[in-house]
Amino acid sequence: MTLKQDVADRLEEMANLLEADGVEYKPNAYRRAAESVREYPGSFEALVEEGEDAVNELDHVGDAISAKIVEYAETGEIEELTEIRERYPVDMAALLRVEGVGPKTVGTLYDELGVETLEDLESAARAGEIQNVKGFGAKTEQNILDNLEFAKSAGERTLLGDARPVADSVVAYLESVDAAESVEVAGSLRRWRATIGDVDVLVGTEDGEAVVDAFTDWDEADNVIEAGTEKAAVRTDGLRVDLRVVVPDEFGSALQYFTGSKDHNVRLRNYAIERGMKLNEYGAFDVSNVDDPDSGQRVGDRIGGSTEESMYEALDLPWIPPELREDRGEIRAAADGDLPDLLEEDDIRGDLHNHTDWSDGNETIEEMLAGAAEFGHDYLCISDHATGPGVVGGVGVEDEDLLEQADAVREAAEDVDIEVFTGVEANIAADGSISVADEVLDELDVVVASPHAALDGDGTDRIIEAMQHPAVDIIGHPTGRLLNQRKGLDIDPERLAEAAVEHDVALEINSNPHRLDLSGSAVKYAIDAGATIAINTDSHRTATFEYIRYGVHTARRGWAEAADVLNARDAEGVREFLH
């Protein structure tokens, strides 16, 4: 955890606790300050070293807050925060995960019923105590009960976007260790699941002890959980990293085994058994002439295991990309020669959903366009928020200003070497209507329509209704889910996919690691139905253009090929698709 993250988290906690306490205005001041800290581009340590006056220069940070930031950096505590924590000894983060429960509700339920944890909340709701609190009712209580399950399971897993940089860093470190011959991440991270239980890393080596020693010395490890001769585990930023060491000759079989998924491995092992083979983490063995194949781990003729390819080859199968290993028909497809020719990161030519400081983005139109050019895109679409359900005025751009912005975008486009699309992110209301006037939509190249309000219950009809609007090109983050925070709309992925084909609307994979919406499994329905996918970052600043890789791998989890993806086409191809 860096000082910057730490401070931003503390300020946000302060905001939530003040709001729980019924304080007005201050909570938002703390939230804006937290945002500024999070966005600070330079070394935050260096800034704090310079003292309160320097910290005061940050946007939305005044005297009171800069003093607290310096206090925290110097003492590791903020006195006022400690006090208010004592007044509200609640598990705020967990309680806020319940859809419909905000800091204010947490405060009231603590004051009235002593609710501190999710368990307390559940028993209070089950006992019917919540509906008797002033300002609450039977409906609120039922809502809390409905949303508790999600909140209880959320938070146990780490976002892909948080785990991947940790994995990249531990792999780079282990690659620098002399004794390590080959290093790979395995597990759910190698399959690019949206959330990760723990990070699995595999090393092939003749000297396991040296690798384990180096691993436990890794300077990003906060503590060592275990250290043996073949495996070790450390914790960093609350995330567990598991290391396995194997001899080089068993690297491929171990990698295949530890990549999972468990369901894929079970099906593959059964496929092997039917063919007189035995697969495990030590290799692929021909056991057709062995009386009792279960008599040991290494029985029969070893015909594969040093590479992962050799494991699949032993079964006459082509290598199966990790993203497909979820037991969704990939082994059958491999046997039939029908594996998809998966989309690659390099296939992406541009990004069609991005924000600027005209709405809630952090950078100007010019900065976003220059950043996209530098990132290597051939084109970028500026699609700021319109006003409408879920997006308040002041954040969203009013209709008449959208036209003015489009002019500004076209003008800025003249100064960059990439193609630029004008656009908008319009809101889909609960009845499926679109928040922007038709005359305005007609003037813009790209219309992204996204749900931002009433994000519970079944949203299929609403989204399909929105697709029927003739100006809509892309459905943005179709379920509105926020991983670990909000379940989002229930969507029937099959109906959604069929409607997308019928109305020629692309379905977005929003690459923001908090969203990854659509999910890989929903994408597979879209691909099977022949729908077009758009992979966008929904960037609010240039630094997040790189999130596109999370979207690409999510698309691969949905079996997408380049031909299925709108922004794998050139700008001309995109124009042909637009309405």
In the complex, the residues that contact Zn ion under the rule CB under 5 A are 450
CB 348 within 8 A of CB 555: no
Shorter beta-carbon distance to Zn ion: residue 183 or 509: 509
Shorter beta-carbon distance to ligand DGT: residue 35 or 198: 198
Binding mask 218-257 for ligand DGT (x = CB under 6 A): ---------------------------------------x
CB-count exposure of residue 235 (10 Å: 0-12, 13-18, 19+):
middle
β-sheet bridge partners, residue 172: none
Q: Nearest to Ca ion by Cβ — which residue?
A: 187
Shorter beta-carbon distance to ligand DGT: residue 256 or 542: 256
Beta-carbon count within 10 A of 555 CB: 32
Least separation in angstroms between CB 160 and ligand DGT: 10
Shorter beta-carbon distance to ligand DGT: residue 121 or 243: 243
Shorter beta-carbon distance to ligand DGT: residue 187 or 204: 187
The per-residue b/e assignment along 516-550, b for 16 or more CB within 10 angstroms, e otherwise, is bbbbbebbbbbbebebbbbbbbbbbbbebbebbbb
Cα 570 to Cα 327: distance, rounded to the nearest angstrom: 33
Residue of 395, 392, 390 whose CA lies nearest to 357: 395
CB-count exposure of residue 33 (10 Å: 0-12, 13-18, 19+):
buried
Least separation in angstroms between CB 448 and Zn ion: 8
Shorter beta-carbon distance to ligand DGT: residue 197 or 389: 197
Least separation in angstroms between CB 228 and Zn ion: 47
> Any contact of residue 200 with ligand DGT (CB under 6 A)?
yes
> Any contact of residue 187 with ligand DGT (CB under 6 A)?
yes
Shorter beta-carbon distance to ligand DGT: residue 147 or 265: 265
For the CA atoms of the chain, what is the radius of gyration? 26
> Any contact of residue 545 with ligand DGT (CB under 6 A)?
no
Least separation in angstroms between CB 571 and ligand DGT: 38
Least separation in angstroms between CB 533 and Zn ion: 17
Least separation in angstroms between CB 196 and ligand DGT: 5
Binding mask 254-283 for ligand DGT (x = CB under 6 A): ---xx-xxx--xx-----------------
Q: Nearest to ligand DGT by Cβ — which residue?
A: 260
Shorter beta-carbon distance to ligand DGT: residue 197 or 340: 197
Q: Which of 188, 253, 359, 537 binds ligand DGT (CB under 6 A)?
A: 188
Least separation in angstroms between CB 129 and ligand DGT: 36
Residue 481 tokens read as 């889910």
Cβ-Cβ contacts under 8 Å for 205 (sequence gap 6 or more): 179, 180, 181, 211, 245, 246, 247, 248
Cα 252 to Cα 436: distance, rounded to the nearest angstrom: 55
Helix (H) or strand (E) holding 227: strand 223-227
Cα 396 to Cα 484: distance, rounded to the nearest angstrom: 26
Q: With CB cut-offs between 5 and 8 Å by kind, which of Zn ion, ligand DGT, Ca ion, none does residue 260 bind? A: ligand DGT
Number of residues counted as binding ligand DGT (CB under 6 A):
14
Q: With CB cut-offs between 5 and 8 Å by kind, which of ligand DGT, Zn ion, Ca ion, none does residue 450 bind? A: Zn ion
Cα 555 to Cα 535: distance, rounded to the nearest angstrom: 8
Shorter beta-carbon distance to ligand DGT: residue 190 or 452: 190
Q: With CB cut-offs between 5 and 8 Å by kind, which of Ca ion, Zn ion, ligand DGT, none does residue 262 bind? A: ligand DGT
Which amino acid would we find at residue 11? L
Q: Which phi-psi region, left, alpha or beta, contains residue 74 (left: φ > 0; alpha: ψ -120 to 50)? A: alpha
Give the dihedral of Cα atoms 262, 264, 269, 274; nearest 10 deg: 150
Cβ-Cβ contacts under 8 Å for 528 (sequence gap 6 or more): 497, 559
Least separation in angstroms between CB 172 and Ca ion: 19
Shorter beta-carbon distance to Ca ion: residue 141 or 242: 242
Helix (H) or strand (E) holding 95: helix 92-96
CB 432 within 8 A of CB 465: yes
SS3 assignment, position 534:
strand
Residues that bind Ca ion (CB under 5 A): 187-188, 197-198, 200, 242
Least separation in angstroms between CB 396 and Ca ion: 40
Q: With CB cut-offs between 5 and 8 Å by kind, which of Zn ion, Ca ion, ligand DGT, none does residue 347 bind? A: none
Least separation in angstroms between CB 267 and ligand DGT: 10
Residue ranges of E strands in 348-452: 350-351, 379-385, 419-428, 446-451
Shorter beta-carbon distance to Zn ion: residue 418 or 455: 455
Instruction: Using CB under 6 A, list all residues that contact ligand DGT.
Output: 187-188, 193, 196-198, 200, 257-258, 260-262, 265-266
